[in-house]
Every structure is written in structure tokens, then in C-alpha cells.
Chain A
């Protein structure tokens, strides 16, 4: 069950939309922020709030890159493997991340801190290779810089 305050704010968001389902992405994102990922319970709650069936929410949830329908770590790392980052040797950065975190792409670290996901272009091509950690973008990565970022992000609330 979501807290009453969150429910009220989501209802207000939906009420301000032109149609209820226009707010679907916002509602899914808010619920995901609350639960850490979009749980089955969250899907049902989103459906009830939006006046949709759980299946209609599901077909949206599974479509979007940033909506997670499985548990993820506290911070999701999206590492870009698109062409500009490829030109900047992103393969080495991805391998370094795998080694450092001890997980493959799609994996979550043993301490539940990070989930590593490959992603398509983040619009950081001028600062490639790039990744984002918990939504914070980082560019011009080197293995050393990756280590520093992981260490800082691990301790940043």
C-alpha cells in the first residue's frame, strides 16, 4: 500500500492531465521511486489510479527503458554502448564495470547497491564514453574515473 500523501499527490497529477492516462508515465515513475522498482503491487495501484487495467499498465511498463519490472539495485548504472561511445572505446569501460562490480550486464551487485544495464545513446556523444548512475550522467570515462565515481556514488545518499 502506498502512503496516503503519495496517493493524494498522484491523484492531483492525474486530475491536472487532459485525460487520466496522459499521466501514466509520471505515475509509474513516482511509484517506482517509492518501491525501488515497479512491483506487481505498483502496477495494480497505477491501474486503479489511472482507470486502466493492470494489463494496460503492464504494456506501458515493459515498453520503457527506465521502468524496471524486476528488482534493481539502489542505483541503476546505464552504460552507453552506442556508436559514438564505441568510437571512444566503451567496450573497455563496460568490461571494467563488469569486473569491478562482479556482475554481467543486467546483474545486480551482491550488496544490492548497483544494477548494470547497457543503454542506447544518452545524448552524451560529445563526452563519450558515458554512463549514468542513479540518473546522474558522467562522461569522458576512464577506468580510473569509473572507480572514483562508483566509490562516490556508493556513499552518496
Chain B
């Protein structure tokens, strides 16, 4: 079955506007503007079972439904392309090959939500993706598919690019809203939720690139078609898995939701690198728990991965082999989160460097007996933070202590890293 996101891709170059159109691009838009009401589009997305591809996996149609219909003033849509989670690079690959699915998806989302003006928030470093989008937006405008009176209708929609200057917290939806307004990108208190009071205090929906890029195919082919793409009834659609670490072919691949972990590694990625043995992986970007060899046949869908004690997250699969020290790997992850903490709330600002210090000591053979207990306390208490950055940071540490406590203890007992 043809999967929607990468089907227009050309090797080593971006698809052209004409190629995209010839292959059925903008058919979803035409269908929506010639007979579907905004509610119909929203219902199709709700029925499709599409879940947010940025990491949280919240049902997209439900998120859209939280926007009050009767509030006066403008409402906003923001596409979150602040992809800075280690191990996650799918949005970049998608946009470097095809900006049009996102442009069409955003136009459809604006139509469904009654939004006149939407933004694409792009991280620093994704200049190629930004250039593709800027060109694509102009092409779509010229063709009457965006801008004033789309396809001769009464609907006008603008898309603007916002290029950021690099900071992981900008991916958090309320921090992103502050960033877009030109304020310091600290997260905002919730409630009120952005759906009610977001950008410039107006109702706002923030969706990830991959989420919105799925919308054209859902509208064009119907909710049932999208659901049917998944390999198991728990899932819906396809997913971009971006694999890195100890595999032969590190690649971003589009696979049906429900593809097993083993099929991703052995199938799409050609197996483990240099004949190494699989030790563990992080399945959904830096803020998820480890999966182990026993999860080799685990179907990768949101609910099943959650039941296995981790999260599908962004689909950033980072693979470790038996030569990798998972204490050092976790230390690397914590170092990332500690560096990227915005410093707004104390537990995150102070707690993450402390965790980093303890893990550094353990890795360097200066761990103490009660370190594991202290780390466990942090896993517990760093959940009580202003936003999800610190709880996200605690996920791999939680996984380390849950699944690889012996490896941590060995460091402490032997007073050195057993893998060095």
C-alpha cells in the first residue's frame, strides 16, 4: 500500500510543484473547497485516528475541537518545526524532499479551524527546509491554492515562516507561542490552554510538521483509508521513523504504524552495524524510556509502546549495541536537557545539573552506594516542574534504573565503567 508522506519523494532532490500536483497533490484541498464544510474536514481528521506526531501523540481532531467556535477576534494555527530533540530528524527530511504536503495540510487545517493566518516556526539550521517552504508558498499562491480567495472561494489564508535562533524549549507549545511573539521563550502557565488563549491571546492550535502533512491524504482518501494503513487496529496511518545509532543504514523511513521494532531495525535499516548485538533502544527521541531485546517484536504504535513502559514519541529510534555503556548514554541525554533547560523553574534548573553530576561520578568510578536512591528521588520529584522538559529528561533515567540497574550498580561496585 502506498504510504502518504514519502510517496512524492525523489532521490536527493526536492519534488517540484508540478510533480506534486501530477501525483495527486492538492486533490485534498480541491475536494475540501468544493463541497466539504470546515466541520467535515475536522470530522475526517477526528475519524482518521491521526495522533500528534511531535511526541505527545494526542488525537489531532480532538485538539482541534478544543478551539471555541464563538470567540471573537483572530485565531491562529502554528506548525511546530522546532525539531531539536536528539535522535529526531524526520521533519527536516520530510521538508527537504517535499514542502507541499505541509503547505496543503496547513491550508486544510486553517480551513477546518477558521484560521486566516498561520505560521510555520522553523528551528535555526533548517534553512534548506525553510527555502523549500518559502518557494512552495509562493507557488501555491500563484496557483490560487493559497492566499486570497483560495480556488475562487470566500476563504483567504496566509502562511508565514518564522525562523528561530535555536533553543530546544521553543518546541514546547506555550514557549513556542512566546517565541513567536518575540518574548523570552519560557513556557506559559496552563490553563488557559492555547486552544482558548494562545498567540496574542487568541485561540491557537500548535501541530507538528508530520501531523499536518498527513492531513491532505486523509481528506483526499478518507478516514477509513488512513486507519487502514496501520498494521494493527490500535494504530492509524503511517509514521516516520528516524533511526540512528548502531544500525547499518541510518535512515528516516516511512512505515505503517504497528511495524515491529525488529522490522524497523532488521528490515528498513539493514540490521545492526558491524554484526553487533542489539542491547537497547530509545524508541521516540531523547525523552523516552529504553526498550530491550524482549521488545524486538513489539508493534510500534502509541498504545502498545506505552504499555511496554515507553513512548512512541517522535519516532526517533536511537539504537545501542552491547558495546555502549547506558550510564554514559543516559549522562549524555541528561547533559542535553540540563543545557537546554530554560531555567524558569527551580527543580529543572537545579535538579538536572545535579543528576548530571551524580551520573558523571558514577561513570567515572566515583559513584556511591546511595546514588541510585538519590537518582530515583529525582525521577520522582522532577515530575513536578513547570513544563514537560524535566519529566522528559527523567524518562531515560527512569528506564536506566528500571531496566539496567545492575549496570549502574556495577559501575559503583567496580569503581569504574565496566565497558571501558
Q: Does B180 contact A (CB under 8 A)?
A: yes
A57 vs chain B, min Cβ distance (A): 10
A121 touching B87 in the complex, CB below 8 Å, given contacts A25-B164, A25-B182, A60-B182: yes
Q: Mark B383-413, 1 if CB is under 8 A from A, else 0.
A: 0000000000000000000000000000000
> For the complex, what is the distance from the CA of A125 to the CA of B93, rounded to whole Å?
11
B44 vs chain A, min Cβ distance (A): 30
Interface hub of A19, A25, A121 (most chain B Cβ within 10 A): A121
Q: Does B336 contact A (CB under 8 A)?
A: yes
A83 touching B86 in the complex, CB below 8 Å, given contacts A22-B182, A128-B250: yes
Verify B125–A21 contact, CB threshold 8 A.
Answer: no
Verify A125–B246 contact, CB threshold 8 A.
Answer: no
Query: Which residue of chain B is the closest to A118 with respect to CB atoms?
Result: B339
B350 vs chain A, min Cβ distance (A): 19
Across-interface contacts of A22 in B (CB, < 8 A): 180-182
Query: Which residue of chain B is the closest to A61 with respect to CB atoms?
Result: B165
Q: Does A137 contact B (CB under 8 A)?
A: yes
B59 vs chain A, min Cβ distance (A): 26
> Which A residues between 63 and 95 are near B, CB-CB below 8 angstroms?
63-67, 81-84, 86-88
Q: Does A116 contact B (CB under 8 A)?
A: no
Partner of A82, one of B117, B183, B243, B336: B336
Verify A126–B167 contact, CB threshold 8 A.
Answer: no
Verify B252–A126 contact, CB threshold 8 A.
Answer: yes
Verify A120–B336 contact, CB threshold 8 A.
Answer: yes
Verify A83–B167 contact, CB threshold 8 A.
Answer: no
Q: Does A50 contact B (CB under 8 A)?
A: yes
Verify B316–A125 contact, CB threshold 8 A.
Answer: yes
Q: Does B251 contact A (CB under 8 A)?
A: yes
Query: Which residue of chain B is the closest to A20 with respect to CB atoms?
Result: B182
Verify A123–B88 contact, CB threshold 8 A.
Answer: yes
Across-interface contacts of A40 in B (CB, < 8 A): none
Number of inter-chain CB pairs below 8 Å: 129
Verify B84–A120 contact, CB threshold 8 A.
Answer: yes
A79 vs chain B, min Cβ distance (A): 13
> For the complex, what is the distance from the CA of A124 to the CA of B84, rounded to whole Å?
10
15 of the cross-chain contacts (CB-CB < 8 Å) are A25-B182, A29-B165, A63-B185, A83-B87, A83-B286, A83-B318, A84-B318, A87-B244, A87-B320, A87-B324, A122-B125, A123-B92, A125-B316, A126-B243, A126-B251
Verify A121–B252 contact, CB threshold 8 A.
Answer: no
B residues lining the A interface (CB < 8 Å): 83-89, 91-93, 117, 123-127, 162-168, 179-185, 200, 242-246, 250-252, 282, 286, 316, 318-320, 324, 328-329, 332-333, 335-336, 339-340, 342
> For the complex, what is the distance from the CA of A18 to the CA of B84, rounded to whole Å?
26
Interface hub of B89, B185, B282, B318 (most chain A Cβ within 10 A): B89
Verify A65–B87 contact, CB threshold 8 A.
Answer: no
A114 vs chain B, min Cβ distance (A): 18
Across-interface contacts of A83 in B (CB, < 8 A): 86-87, 245, 282, 286, 318, 329, 332-333, 336
Verify A121–B86 contact, CB threshold 8 A.
Answer: yes
Verify B125–A87 contact, CB threshold 8 A.
Answer: no
Across-interface contacts of A60 in B (CB, < 8 A): 182-184
> For the complex, what is the distance from the CA of A44 to the CA of B339, rounded to whole Å?
28
> For the complex, what is the distance from the CA of A109 to the CA of B250, rounded to whole Å?
33
Partner of B167, one of A59, A63, A88: A63
Verify B86–A120 contact, CB threshold 8 A.
Answer: yes
Verify A87–B89 contact, CB threshold 8 A.
Answer: no
Q: Does A148 contact B (CB under 8 A)?
A: no
Partner of A125, one of B89, B332, B342: B89
> For the complex, what is the distance from the CA of A23 to the CA of B332, rounded to whole Å?
34
B281 vs chain A, min Cβ distance (A): 11
A25 touching B318 in the complex, CB below 8 Å, given contacts A18-B200, A83-B336: no
Q: Does A41 contact B (CB under 8 A)?
A: no
Interface hub of B125, B162, B282, B316 (most chain A Cβ within 10 A): B125
> For the complex, what is the distance from the CA of A156 to the CA of B247, rounded to whole Å?
35
Partner of A59, one of B85, B184, B282, B318: B184
